[in-house]
Amino acid sequence: MFDNGNHVALRRDGVAVVLKAPENEMPQVEYWGRNFGVPSAEDGLAALDAMTLKVTPPAEKPDAALRPSLLPQGAEAFAGRPGLEAYRGTTPVFVRWTAVETQVAEGGHELLVHAKDAVNLVGLDVRLRLAEGGLVLMDERITNIDMEHDEPLTVNWLDSVLPVPRRADHLTQFTGRWPLEK
C-alpha cells in the first residue's frame, strides 16, 4: 500500500503539501512545509519515499512509525484512534475503502478525494485545499449509500490526520474540549 501510487503536489505562497495517492487507498501526506522547489514530476518527488516508511508494519519494522492516511483506520495497521467511528444500530461499521479516486483541482491548489466502501455502503468526500497564505483547509463529508437499510448510519466522529511540520511552533484548531466535540 505505502509504496504504490503517484505523488500529488499542492503548492501555494511558499507552502507545499506532497501526498502519496496509492490506487484504491486513502492518500497519505508525505511532506507538509516550506516549498522545497523540487519539480512536480514523479521522479523528482520519488526521493520522498526514501524518508518515509516503505513497508507495512510489522513485516520488517515492527516498531516503525506508520505514515497514516488522511483518514486512518485499523484496516491500514493504524494503532491509534480511527478517523471514523460509525454504527448501524448497535453494530460498529469498520470501513475499508474499496474504491478511491483522487483529482487535483483549482489550479493545483486543491485535492479532491472520493472514497467508497462497497461492503459497508459508506461514501466519503474529502477536499484538501491550500488557501492564500499557505493555510491548509480540509472538508469532509460522509454519505450513507445504503438508503434501504433498516438502521441509519450514525457517525460518532470523523477526524482527519495531517502531520505537523517540524518548523511549526503554533497550531490553531477549532475543536477540543471547550465545545465538547472530542
pLDDT tens figures, 40-64: 667 767 777 666 655 555 555 555 5
Residue type, 155: V
Model pTM greater than 0.85? no
* Location of C-alpha cell 502531520: 163
Instruction: Work out whether strand 15-21 and strand 6-12 pair parallel, antiparallel, or are unpaired.
Output: antiparallel
SS3 content of the chain, % helix, strand, coil (to 5): 10, 40, 50
Query: How buried is 83 (Cβ within 10 angstroms: 0-12 exposed, 13-18 middle, 19+ buried)?
Result: buried
Per-residue pLDDT tens over the stretch 71-103: 988 777 777 788 999 998 889 999 999 999 999
Q: Is 48 left (phi over 0), alpha (psi -120 to 50) or beta?
A: alpha
